[in-house]
Amino acid sequence: MKGRLVGLLGCAVLLAVAGACSRQKEEPKPAPQPATAASTPQPTPTKVKLALNWVPEPEFGGFYAARETGAFTRHGFDLELMGGGAGVPVMQMVVSGQVEFGIAGADELLTARIRGMDVLPLFAVYQTSPQAIMAHVSRGAKGIADVLKSGTVALESGLPYAAFLKKKYGFDKVKVMPYDGGVARFVVDKDFAQQCFITSEPIAAKRQGAQPTVFLVADEGFNPYGTVVFTRRQVWKEQPERVKSFVEAVREGWRAYLDTPGPANAVMGKLNTTMDAETFAAAAEAQKPLIETEETKARGLGTMSRERWEHLGQQLVELGVIEKAPPVDEYLLPEFMGAATAPH
């Protein structure tokens, strides 16, 4: 599963994981055109870095769309998107000042805060976590509870979502084995189930002839925000207006990507050749309802609520992931809680 989920969100598009885990390099940007005599001098864009926690794929489509459509430039940024992979220490990169912004799961951010890292969530792409369990349609399972009654399930048992399922249903009736990052065994073994992202492994399995049925862990009651943009408090204290402008550029990019994913998919496809255009398109379509919800329609893409963060903290304590939940008001800023609670 994705190494990025050293906090929850593990398993992303892994159709051919073998070569996908190294840091991806961005293509060189075209040189800026010289200004004409009639042009109005523009302020020099601020150079910033955003570290992704996995390779370029639809999960990050809005960030690429923001760059390609000029949203970052319009908001005064010269953005470097840094593709990630298994083991890339995004949290440490942000905390140490190597990059200004990073991507992590909500549970990872809370764990980091307990460890003394003063990080702040700014924008939550996934309102519904894409973490899921998939099984073969032929098994007739109606939910995760049925999947865990027999057969074999592959998952990363050390992750919070797995601890949640074990506490809720128990693993005494199913054989649990480590997840290997692919779908090869799933395709040939009808009694085999596995963890997945709804936007990746099911698509891969279908393309290989299998008929998976997918059950979201969020529907069971564990639903942390996913693909969360975050920064360290020092950046916010020193440049609050720039941080807010960065978030606005991100929001514009995600709106553009949800409406027209093709251009950004084409760019990401050149950086991540393990996915073809059809898979990029299918994943982009599959994730739409997880990103744009009734709440985001009312409050804006990326919105976050105090109640969701507080509930997640309580769950992580109950699961033994952390000893004490950090106070929400220490890290969740009103500026990033959506139109319904924050002035614009």
Q: How many C-beta neighbours within 10 Å does residue 294 have?
A: 8
Q: Domain tally for the chain?
A: 2
| Pair (207, 61) in one structural domain | no
Which CATH number characterizes residue 159's domain? 3.40.190.10
pLDDT of residue 37: 39
pLDDT of residue 287: 98
| Pair (102, 212) in one structural domain | no
pTM, 2 dp: 0.86
| Pair (157, 291) in one structural domain | no
pLDDT of residue 40: 52
| Pair (61, 145) in one structural domain | no
| Pair (216, 253) in one structural domain | no
pLDDT of residue 115: 96
Would you give the DSSP letter of residue 343?
Answer: -
C-alpha span between 172 and 182 (Å, rounded): 24
| Pair (294, 331) in one structural domain | yes
Instruction: Say which residues have a Cβ less than 8 Å from residue 263's Cβ, sequence separation at least 6.
Output: 65, 68, 69
Q: For the chain (length 344 residues), average pLDDT per consecutive 10?
A: 38 35 42 46 86 96 98 97 92 98 98 97 98 98 98 95 97 96 95 96 96 98 98 98 98 98 98 95 98 96 98 98 97 87 37
183 part of a folded domain: yes
107 part of a folded domain: yes
| Pair (190, 242) in one structural domain | no
pLDDT of residue 339: 66
The residue range of the domain holding 200 is 131-220
pLDDT of residue 93: 98
The size of the chain, in residues, is: 344
31 part of a folded domain: no
User: Among residues 188, 220, 252, which one ends one of the domains?
Assistant: 220
User: Among residues 220, 238, 255, which one ends one of the domains?
Assistant: 220
pLDDT of residue 41: 57
| Pair (184, 267) in one structural domain | no
| Pair (173, 205) in one structural domain | yes
User: Among residues 220, 246, 276, which one ends one of the domains?
Assistant: 220
Q: What is the DSSP string of 14-59?
A: -TTGGGTSSPPPPPPPPPPPPPPTTSPP-PPPEEEEEE-SSSSSGG
| Pair (117, 96) in one structural domain | yes
176 part of a folded domain: yes
23 part of a folded domain: no
30 part of a folded domain: no
317 part of a folded domain: yes
194 part of a folded domain: yes
| Pair (283, 246) in one structural domain | yes
pLDDT of residue 86: 82
| Pair (122, 236) in one structural domain | yes
